[in-house]
Amino acid sequence: MTNTRPEISIADMRREYTLAGLREEDAAADPFDQFAIWFKEATDAQVIESNAMALATATPDGRPSVRIVLLKGVDTGGFVFFTNYESRKGCELAANPHAALLFYWAELTRQIRIEGTIAKVSEQESADYFATRSPLSRLGAWASRQSSVIAGRHVLDERLAALQQQFPDDQIPLPPFWGGYRLTPHTFEFWHGRPNRLHDRLRYRTDGIGGWVIERLSP
């Protein structure tokens, strides 16, 4: 039998990281400022979907799950994304608010890990964001019972057609099962690839009284 798989040795795939690193003397005192600097650099470097982040959640007994969501805002309270509250992630977050985010910007050999607790944003904040979405994307939020099993693609097409009848004038309200979450971090880690696998890792953790402790971790 012919082997049609490309012969790639995954174990031999590696890349030498030569970009400048992250030094303590250059790091911002506040991790939100450091995030803003790196996020701007990723966006300026035209990283595709620099706001795409992995979101890890877990059941209360510690079974993890992870998926990509889009960062839609950062403020002093934390990192905001939008989703279906009844999805798998929504159910896990309802039972266990501890979560983690991860950005990986390969072009810059940078990774940012963020850990904290998650809470729903206000209904007004969700409605304000929902209103900025296109009519079809608003209807899409209504049409999808995210993470539930469906009989086929036709289920979505039929729901969308029915919703277009129901809301013909683009007056599409916020679904009660849809909205934002804000992750409030207690820890950040900024990772920068360096030569010989001796990478830079700076961790910020809250000192509990409004400041941040910066520590270097061994790569």
SS3 (DSSP) at 106? helix
CB of 70 vs ligand FMN, minimal distance in Å: 4
Cβ-based neighbour number of residue 168 at 10 Å: 8
Distance of alpha carbon 133 from alpha carbon 138, whole angstroms: 6
Q: CB under 6 A: which stretch of 82-90, 123-131, 150-158, 187-195 binds ligand FMN?
A: 82-90
Q: Which residues are catalytic?
A: 197
CB of 50 vs ligand FMN, minimal distance in Å: 11
> Tell me, what amino acid is at 118?
I
Check binding of 44 to ligand FMN (CB under 6 A).
Answer: no
CB of 133 vs ligand FMN, minimal distance in Å: 11
* Among 50, 83, 111, 126, interactor with ligand FMN by CB under 6 A: 83
Check binding of 49 to ligand FMN (CB under 6 A).
Answer: yes
Closest CA to 172 of 215, 211, 206, 142: 142
Q: Is 206 exposed, middle or buried (0-12, 13-18, 19+ CB in 10 A)?
A: middle
Bridge-based pairing of strands 73-75 and 78-84 is: antiparallel
Check binding of 205 to ligand FMN (CB under 6 A).
Answer: no
CB of 48 vs ligand FMN, minimal distance in Å: 9
Place of tokens 């690839």: 193
Distance of alpha carbon 157 from alpha carbon 166, whole angstroms: 14
Check binding of 52 to ligand FMN (CB under 6 A).
Answer: yes
Q: CB under 6 A: which stretch of 15-23, 80-88, 185-193, 200-208 binds ligand FMN?
A: 80-88
- By CB under 6 A, name the binding residues for ligand FMN: 49, 52, 65, 67-70, 81-84, 87-89, 146-147
